Structure 1
Amino acid sequence: MNFVQPIRDQETIDEIKDYLKQQSERNYMMFVLGINTGLRIQDILKLRVRDVMGPQIVMHEMKTGKRKFISITSTLRTALKKYTANMNKDDYLFPSRQGGKNRPIKRDMAYKIMKEAAKEFGLVDVGTHTMRKTFGYHMYQKTKDITLVQHLLNHSDKSITMRYIGMDQDMMDRAMHYFGL
């Protein structure tokens, strides 16, 4: 399994959004949903329109089996309303253009979308999990509450969350930058 990083720079996130929107609304919406919810890609791809119509996404995580409630922010709500305007409530949010009627894209297609965007912007260590890590990193930057981020990501320990969102590496890099004997 490859190790991926969060996208730390807001300007880069905005540029990726623009790039993906030019490609397709589906690809843009997948990225926006991922960075605004912190869901794993397998949970994102199984979502249907009906799952995002309320104030929260209510689901069972595939990895843990735990029931999860994710509030839909106003920014995400606006994007989802526009995106789903002409869709049926039973449609998958991220439909495949291949393989028959009403099937979601597969994980490898989501990975390909992310890798192409990363290549366009010269990013390395990017994959589908980058969206989840980006959510965690920026939630921590805004709140400085590692316990909150730990619970949002469903981690068992704060140290796991710090390492997961790249904060351990950031702290080591800063320390080394100012270190000298």
Structure 2
Amino acid sequence: MSQPHNTNKGERLNVQPIRKKSDIEIARFLLSKNKHGQRDVLLFLMGINTGLRASDLVVRTVGEFRNTKHPVIVEQKTHKKRTLNVSNLSDLIDDFIKDKQDNDYLFQSNKFKNYHIKVNGVYQIMQKLGRQMDRDDFGTHTMRKTFGYHYYRQTHDIATLMTIFNHSSQQITKRYIGITEDEINESLDKFKLGL
């Protein structure tokens, strides 16, 4: 099973991306059945389409996304400004925020009125999803790694992905998104000696 605590480095290393697009569709369907399904689906889709850390997702406010497809945020860990591109999610976001106030948190807590879901809440959502999908490698970094994995597979632009993730080397980025492991396995699939 994944580590019980969602902020340690062990969890980041054990957590894997969702590699199959069909599994992303299954995840979206399962999340839609949650008590707060619309919120959980949007959280998941924002995570896998922006690559934001869970800590940066949970603190977003409605006003940041009203009337813009390119909100500018400040990342909590790095304190760096980042412009998001949520063009592909704009219809979902607009529908989700239409009856909300600008100062409301985008992802409201179940327990506390006028407060956002906590990172541990995201962890719990991902752990439940993992159990439903018979996976023990889901955690708070699943969404971020899924973004990185599919971004790299579609573009092969590791340099831009490294910049998005604020990593110091391409090797770190490849290892983080599970590409190094995939590439090793693919090369070994074709490797034969004495056969």
Instruction: Provide TM-score, normalisation by structure 2.
Output: 0.88
**Counterpart of 1:177 in structure 2: which amino acid?**
D
CA-to-partner distance for each residue in 1:87-113, whole Å, 9 max, x for gaps?
A: 1111101101213x2100111111010
| Cross-structure match for 1:38 | 51
- Deviation of residue 125 (structure 1)? 1.3
**Counterpart of 1:48 in structure 2: which amino acid?**
T
**Counterpart of 2:24 in structure 1: which amino acid?**
I
Unaligned runs of 5+ in 1: none
Query: The residue matched to 2:84 in structure 1 has which SS?
Result: strand
Aligned partners of 2:132 and 2:101: how far apart in 1? 33
User: In the alignment, does 2:97 pair up with 1:84?
Assistant: yes
Aligned partners of 2:71 and 2:97: how far apart in 1? 15
Paired residues, number: 179
User: In the alignment, does 2:135 pair up with 1:123?
Assistant: yes
| Cross-structure match for 2:79 | 65
Query: The residue matched to 1:71 in structure 2 has which SS?
Result: coil
Q: Give the alignment partner of residue 21 of structure 1, picking from 32, 53, 63.
A: 32
| Cross-structure match for 1:104 | 116
| Alpha-carbon RMSD | 1.1
- Report % sequence identity: 36
- Deviation of residue 123 (structure 1)? 1.8
| Cross-structure match for 2:168 | 156
CA-to-partner distance for each residue in 1:90-145, whole Å, 9 max, x for gaps?
A: 1101101213x210011111101011111111122110111001001111111111
Aligned partners of 1:41 and 1:56: how far apart in 2? 19
| Cross-structure match for 1:141 | 153
**Counterpart of 2:79 in structure 1: which amino acid?**
G
- Deviation of residue 149 (structure 1)? 1.1
- Deviation of residue 55 (structure 1)? 2.1
**Counterpart of 1:111 in structure 2: which amino acid?**
Y
- Structure 1 segments, 4+ long, off by >3 Å, are none
Aligned partners of 1:151 and 1:52: how far apart in 2? 23
Aligned partners of 2:69 and 2:23: how far apart in 1? 28
